[in-house]
């Protein structure tokens, strides 16, 4: 079974500083990886996804993530954060088993706090 670990429960970053959120996955085959963002009381918004090909993936809102198979990681980055980036960030892995639909397995999330 697949699993996702987000080692950082909380991260505090100053506005304008760079950001990296860590994600490690465990999956026997090629994983399908996602980053979602959730503002309080809201649904989840897809930031970016990785299926195959180029290991550096560009997403919305200036985010990018890099897939590193050797480290089983899919870390999320942004060069300069804005106060509006404060939210909960979830890394998720999807299985690619044959037949039927597969749901996502989420990490526990990283709460991002932006300092002025």
Give the residues lining the site for other proteins (CB under 8 A).
32, 34, 36, 41-46, 49, 51, 90, 94, 96, 99-109
Beta bridge partners of 45: 37
Residue 21 corresponds to which tokens in the numbers above? 């959120």
Count of Cβ atoms closer than 10 Å to residue 56 Cβ: 11
Beta carbon nearer to other proteins, 25 or 90 = 90
**Minimum distance between the CB of residue 42 and other proteins, rounded to whole angstroms?**
6
Please identify, using beta-carbon distances, which residue of 99 and 116 lies nearer to other proteins.
99
| Contact present, 50 and 74 (Cβ < 8 Å) | yes
Q: How far is the CB of 114 from other proteins (least distance, A)?
A: 19
- Contact present, 19 and 35 (Cβ < 8 Å): no
Least distance from other proteins to the Cβ atom of residue 10, Å: 11
């Amino acid at each position: 079974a697949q699993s996702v670990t987000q080692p950082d429960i909380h991260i505090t970053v100053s506005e304008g500083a760079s950001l990296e959120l860590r994600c490690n996955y465990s999956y026997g085959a090629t994983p399908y990886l996602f980053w979602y963002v959730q503002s309080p009381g809201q649904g989840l918004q897809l930031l970016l996804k990785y299926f195959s090909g180029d290991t550096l993936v560009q997403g919305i809102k200036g985010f990018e993530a890099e897939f590193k198979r050797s480290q089983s990681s899919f870390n999320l980055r942004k060069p300069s954060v804005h106060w509006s980036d404060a939210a909960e960030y979830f890394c998720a892995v999807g299985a690619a088993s044959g037949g039927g639909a597969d749901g996502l397995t989420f990490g526990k999330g990283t709460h991002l706090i932006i300092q002025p």
